[in-house]
């Protein structure tokens, strides 16, 4: 590109621009008087030569070449188009009448031909006579050429003559001047021609490219998707055989496994089921919180039945481009049907089948859902394709998806209960080296609300901790450690707590522990520590014997009392002036319980068995009555805690001192201290 403009441009534009500059020089205006003679000569020439023809024909004069000598013109043409005269025997025209309009036009015309106007050339071959050619050319010459040739002829000629006069160019130099002009003109024309040709070629090339692109898109509307369907949706192309995952691998979700058992039977022998007229669901929805083993269950279904497993995540179908999501669904189902019986698993079903209205973020979600519905409707029950969808939010699913014939079977996969957690912990403990003293049930009791994935992580963290500490196997200590880490954040060993604060913390935590120990309906103590962890300086952990489905009034009161134990201890030991801010979360906790007792559980005599949901909208009297009741519950709780700590002041002191010595005490050690026995030196 660069080379082109730098080599051609100077040759052509320099002489021409000189001329143009000369033409339009402001000085030309003042020269009308001295211009008379040559102008008259010129006018004569025009009438003389234009008279015979009424046609608007170009001649040499048009180009300011009327006074060019024949030899000069030949030279010029020869230098511009070497070898031109050899091929065309038309030089006679030039000799006989160098000003002849027709002969010049013919030459001009042949020029154009040589420059590659192919249509023109092929047409003119058929034309024999010069006049015929001429007439034809008038019609077929491209308009821009015509325009270029015919434009402002008179004024150009005048300007050239004027200019020569204005510049007072001597007669001797006028020829050279005109030659220069003609040279510039012809070269400019040649350049225009070239530029136009290359422009046309570029346009043609672009058009071909465009057509090819459109053709490609029509043949395969998802040209760009192809790449992704083979990368993003590997599963659709390459199913996984799930032999290694069975129901044995999924713990603590017995009900779900039982429900899915019949699906396994169906996949093993689809015909047997349909012969009896039985109708199995096409789609099964696994509903449950994250990490509870939904994916694992779906894999296990495929593994049990020994059929291929196609995995897809709902978010993969969520695309900004029209038809992409729908096409992926189509591909997935096509592959699956070809390999039936099989399981298609769609994780995060809500992200493809959610209720959302078309939004700018998900412009084609509707299309994708419709494709999914169409595919699900499109195969018969005995084809052996089972679609398992998983979601954390079944409420968010499009209603059309959960109609009969689609995802019409729902299986709940809940967080495991204490028995389930024990099983899951045992399962993962068996994959590592652990000490015989480890009791998975204790850990299970302390991990209410943990999912299978979180329990797996807990065991893994304990194994890592044991490895870091250079131990040979995992003990309860590591398991407790990783549980606390997951629940409360990492230990802050580097924090230097001064003795005074340590002592306050030790008495505060022992206060909680003493209340828990001596209150009938409080949960059993698991551990007390003054090791800072996360945002706390110490804590006492309690362990429910079982998962609590329901709580009694006295259990709730006991929880409040235990919460109060910390502040009461501070007050009794250090005096009212030295109580700290450390009890704020204890009060939060106790206040929440008291409020729920009054407003939700109907556990206040004064306010009765009634719920008060939006307390802000209640009458001021009711609001103050509620507040009054909560305050009474909290005050009574505080008094009970005070009474216990006063009664067991000796045990309180012993426990606080043991904590200051050992930092952390487990349930057994706490019992030893409280029974007044001496702790073995660790
Ligand atoms: N009940 C369980 N028994 C054994 N392992 C489990 C159980 N639940 C979860 N896990 C472990 O946790 C991992 C993650 O669980 P999975 O991916 O199946 O959960 P999910 O319910 O599909 O979660 P999400 O909703 O986040 O996709 C499993 O690969 C498995 O190792
Ligand atoms: Zn506390």
Closest CA to 391 of 465, 289, 301: 289
- By DSSP bridging, strand 342-347 and strand 525-529 are unpaired
Spacing, Cα 570 to ligand 1 middle (Å) = 44
What is the rounded CA–CA span in Å between residue 14 and residue 8?
A: 10
Tell me which range, 240-254, 258-272, 605-619, 631-645, is most confidently predicted by mean pLDDT.
631-645
| Rounded distance between C-alpha atoms, residue 314 and residue 348, angstroms | 5
The lowest-confidence range among 179-193, 250-264, 586-600 is: 179-193
Please report, to the nearest 10 degrees, the dihedral formed by the alpha carbons of residues 393, 394, 400, 402 taken in order.
150
The answer to whether the CB of 415 is under 6 A from ligand 1 is: no
On whether both 74 and 30 belong to a single domain, the answer is yes
Q: Are residues 602 and 642 in the same domain?
A: yes
CATH number of the domain where residue 555 is located? 1.20.58.760
Q: Which of 509, 570, 571, 651 is catalytic?
A: 509
State how far the Cα of 273 lies from the Cα of 296, in Å rounded to an integer: 25
CA of 317 to the centre of ligand 1 (A): 22
The residue among 468 and 237 whose pLDDT is bigger is 468
Closest CA to 491 of 500, 481, 506, 499: 481
143 alpha-carbon distance from chain centroid: 53
Q: Reply yes or no on whether the pLDDT at 143 is more than 50.
A: no
341 preceded by cis ω (within 30°)?
A: yes
Whether residue 400 contacts residue 406, with contact meaning beta carbons closer than 8 Å, is answered with yes
Instruction: Specify whether 294 is located in the same domain as 166.
Output: no
pLDDT at residue 231, as a whole number: 38
Residues 646 and 515 in one domain: yes
pLDDT tens, residue by residue, 595-649: 999 999 999 988 899 999 887 888 999 999 999 999 999 999 999 999 999 999 9
- Asked if residue 293 has its Cβ within 6 Å of ligand 1, the reply is yes
Q: Which residues contact 318 (CB under 8 A, 6 or more apart)?
A: 325, 351, 352, 362, 365, 368
What are phi and psi for residue 551, nearest 5 degrees? -125, 140
Domain boundary, last residue among 457, 488, 519:
488
Burial class (CB in 10 A: 0-12, 13-18, 19+), 247: buried
pLDDT at 154: 47
Three-state DSSP class for 538?
coil
* Residue 656 domain-assigned (yes or no): yes
Residue 682 counted as domain residue: no
- In what order do the strands lie in the sheet containing 539-542? 539-542, 525-529, 664-666
Mean pLDDT in the chain? 73
Q: In this structure, how many other beta carbons lie within 10 angstroms of the beta carbon of residue 343?
A: 30
Q: Cα(295) to centroid of ligand 1, in Å? A: 6
pLDDT grade, residue 51 (50/70/90)?
very low
Confidence of residue 18 (pLDDT cuts 50, 70, 90): very low
Q: Which of 441, 428, 454 is nearest to 289 (CA)?
A: 454
From the CA of 347, give the closest atom in ligand 1: 27
Q: What average pLDDT does this structure show over 455-459?
A: 94
Mean pLDDT of 459-468: 94
For position 109, what pLDDT does the model report? 40
Q: Find tokens 């979600």 and name the residue.
A: 365
Q: What average pLDDT does range 166-181 have in this prediction?
A: 70
pLDDT for 675 equals 92
Structural tokens at position 333: 């189902």
Split at pLDDT 50, 70, 90, the class of 492 is: confident
CA atoms within 13 A on the CB side of 653: 8
| Residue bearing the CA closest to ligand 1, atom 13 | 453
Cβ atoms of residues 523 and 543 within 8 Å: yes
Q: Name the domain boundary from 412, 432, 448.
A: 412
Q: Establish whether residue 425 lines the binding site of ligand 1, counting it when its CB lies within 6 angstroms of any ligand atom.
A: no
**Which residue has the CA at smallest separation from atom 4 of ligand 1?**
250
What spacing in Å lies between the alpha carbon of 490 and ligand 2's midpoint? 19
**Mean local confidence (pLDDT), 324-341:** 82
Same structural domain, 564 and 542: yes
84/477: higher pLDDT: 477
DSSP letter for each residue of 305-374? HT-EEEEEEGGGG--SSTTHHHHHHHHHHHHHHHT-SEEEEEESTHHHHB-PPPBTTBTTHHHHHHHHHH
67, 190: one domain: yes
Residue 432 sits in a domain whose CATH number is 1.10.8.60
Instruction: Decide if pLDDT at 552 tops 60.
Output: yes
Contact 662, 679 (CB under 8 A): yes
Lowest-confidence range among 325-334, 462-471, 635-644?
325-334
Ligand 1 contact, 541 CB (< 6 A): no
Task: Say if residue 389 is in the same domain as residue 276.
Answer: yes
Q: Is 253 in the pocket of ligand 1 (CB under 6 A)?
A: yes
Do 478 and 508 reside in the same domain of the chain?
no
**Does the CB atom of residue 287 touch ligand 1 within 6 A?**
no
For residue 252 and ligand 1, the question of a CB distance below 6 A is answered with yes
Residue 280 lies in a domain: yes
| Ligand 1, atom 31: closest residue by C-alpha | 453
Q: Give pLDDT, residue 651.
A: 95
Give me the phi and psi of 32, to 5 degrees please.
-60, -35
In a domain, residue 220? The reply is: no
* Residue 464 to residues 56, 468, 469, Cα–Cα distance (Å): 99, 6, 9
Q: What are phi and psi of 207, to 5 degrees?
A: -65, -45
Question: 3-class DSSP state for residue 613?
Answer: coil
Query: Residue whose CA is closest, atom 23 of ligand 1?
Result: 291
Distance CA 285, CA 299 (A): 14
Domain identity same for 255 and 302: yes
Q: Which residue has the tokens 């660790």?
A: 682
Judgement on whether residues 361 and 477 belong to the same structural domain of the protein: no
User: Is the C-beta atom of 390 inside 6 A of ligand 1?
Assistant: yes
Average pLDDT value for residue range 402-418: 85
Model confidence band, residue 509 (pLDDT cutoffs 50, 70, 90): very high
Which of the pair, 142 or 666, is modelled with greater confidence?
Answer: 666
What values do phi and psi take at 232, rounded to 5? Answer: -70, -30
| 317 vs 477, residue with greater confidence | 477
Catalytic site includes residue 509: yes
Q: Which residues surround ligand 2, an ion (CB under 5 A)?
A: 566, 586
Q: Work out the average pLDDT over 230-259.
A: 70
User: pLDDT at position 382, please?
Assistant: 66
* Rounded CA separation 147/501 (Å): 100
User: What mean pLDDT do residues 516-524 have?
Assistant: 93
Within a domain: residue 221?
no
Report pLDDT for 229. Answer: 37
String of DSSP letters for 212-239: HHHHHHHH-TTHHHHHHHHHTTHHHHSP
Residue bearing the CA closest to ligand 1, atom 26: 290
Residue 80 and residue 31 share a domain: yes
Q: How far is the CA of 548 from the centre of ligand 2 (A)?
A: 22
The whole-number pLDDT of residue 482 equals: 92
| Three-class SS state of 283 | strand
> Which of the given ranges, 142-151, 195-204, 481-490, 624-633, has the highest pLDDT on average?
624-633
Q: Which ipTM did the prediction report? A: 0.94
Residue 601, in any domain of the structure: yes
Q: Would residue 211 count as lying in a domain?
A: no
Q: Is the pLDDT of residue 316 over 50?
A: yes
Give the domain-ending residue among 382, 412, 442.
412
For residue 327, the domain's CATH number is: 3.40.50.300
Is 70 among the domain residues? yes
How many domains does the structure of the chain reveal?
4
Q: Are 100 and 112 in contact (CB under 8 A)?
A: no
pLDDT band, residue 164 (cuts 50/70/90): low
Q: What average pLDDT does this structure show over 465-491?
A: 89
Looking at the fold, whether 656 and 512 belong to one and the same domain comes out as: yes
- The domain of 361 spans 230-412
CA of 389 to the centre of ligand 1 (A): 14
Which ligand 1 atom sits nearest the alpha carbon of residue 423? 3
The Cα 678–Cα 657 span in angstroms is: 12
């Amino acid at each position: 590109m660069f080379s082109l403009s730098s080599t051609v441009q100077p040759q052509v534009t320099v002489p021409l621009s000189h001329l143009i500059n000369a033409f339009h020089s402001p000085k030309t205006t003042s020269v009308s008087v001295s211009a008379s003679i040559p102008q008259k000569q010129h006018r004569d020439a025009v009438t003389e030569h234009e008279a015979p023809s009424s046609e608007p024909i170009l001649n040499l004069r048009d180009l300011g070449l009327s006074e060019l000598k024949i030899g000069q013109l030949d030279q010029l043409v020869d230098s511009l188009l070497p070898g031109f005269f050899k091929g065309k025997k038309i030089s006679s025209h030039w000799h006989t009448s160098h000003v002849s309009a027709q002969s010049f036009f013919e030459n001009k015309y042949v020029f154009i031909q040589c420059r590659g106007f192919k249509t023109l050339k092929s047409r003119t071959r058929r034309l024999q006579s010069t006049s015929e050619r001429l007439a034809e050319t008038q019609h077929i010459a491209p308009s821009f050429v015509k325009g270029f040739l015919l434009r402002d002829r008179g004024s150009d000629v005048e300007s050239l003559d004027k200019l020569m006069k204005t510049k007072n160019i001597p007669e001797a130099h006028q020829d050279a001047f005109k030659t220069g002009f003609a040279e510039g003109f012809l070269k400019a024309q040649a350049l225009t021609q070239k530029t136009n040709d290359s422009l046309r070629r570029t346009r043609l090339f672009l058009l071909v490219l465009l057509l090819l692109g459109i053709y490609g898109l029509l043949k395969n509307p998802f040209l760009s998707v192809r790449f992704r369907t083979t990368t993003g949706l590997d599963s659709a192309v390459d199913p996984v055989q799930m032999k290694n995952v069975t129901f044995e691998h999924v713990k603590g979700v017995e009900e779900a496994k039982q429900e899915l058992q019949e699906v396994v039977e169906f996949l093993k022998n689809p015909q047997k089921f349909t012969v009896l007229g039985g109708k199995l669901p096409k789609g099964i929805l696994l509903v449950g919180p994250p990490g509870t083993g939904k994916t694992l269950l779906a894999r296990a279904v495929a593994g049990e039945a020994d059929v291929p497993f196609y995995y897809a995540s709902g978010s993969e179908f969520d695309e900004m481009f029209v038809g992409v999501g729908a096409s992926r669904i189509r591909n997935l189902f096509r592959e699956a049907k070809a390999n039936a019986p099989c399981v298609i698993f769609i994780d995060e079903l809500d992200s493809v089948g959610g209720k959302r209205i078309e939004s700018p973020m998900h412009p084609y979600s509707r299309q994708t859902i419709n494709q999914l519905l169409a595919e699900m409707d499109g195969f018969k029950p005995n084809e052996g394709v089972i679609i398992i969808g998983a979601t954390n939010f079944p409420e968010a699913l499009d209603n059309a998806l959960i109609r009969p014939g689609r995802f019409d079977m729902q299986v709940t996969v809940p967080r495991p209960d204490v028995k389930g957690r024990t099983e899951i912990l045992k399962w993962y403990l068996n994959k590592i080296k652990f000490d015989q003293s480890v009791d998975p049930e204790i850990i299970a009791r302390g991990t209410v609300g943990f999912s299978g994935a979180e329990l797996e992580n807990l065991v893994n963290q304990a194994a890592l901790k044991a490895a870091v500490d250079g131990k040979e196997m995992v003990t309860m200590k590591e398991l407790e450690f990783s549980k606390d880490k997951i629940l409360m954040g990492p230990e802050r060993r580097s924090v230097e707590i001064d003795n005074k604060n340590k002592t306050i913390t030790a008495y505060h935590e022992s206060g909680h522990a003493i209340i828990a120990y001596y209150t009938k309906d409080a949960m059993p103590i698991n551990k007390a520590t003054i090791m800072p962890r996360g945002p706390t300086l110490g804590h006492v952990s309690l362990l429910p014997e079982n998962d609590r489905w329901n709580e009694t009034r006295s259990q709730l009161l006991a929880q409040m009392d235990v919460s109060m134990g910390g502040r009461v201890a501070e007050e009794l030991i250090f005096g009212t002036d030295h109580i700290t801010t450390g009890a704020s979360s204890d009060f939060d906790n106790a206040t929440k319980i008291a409020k729920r007792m009054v407003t939700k559980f109907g556990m206040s005599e004064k306010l009765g068995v009634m719920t008060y949901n939006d307390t802000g909208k209640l009458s001021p009297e009711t609001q103050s009555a509620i507040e009054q009741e909560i305050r009474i519950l909290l005050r009574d709780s505080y008094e009970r805690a005070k009474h216990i700590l006063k009664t067991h002041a000796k045990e309180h002191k012993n426990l606080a001192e043991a904590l200051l010595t050992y930092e952390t005490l487990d349930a057994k050690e706490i019992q030893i201290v409280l029974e007044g026995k001496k702790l073995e030196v660790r």
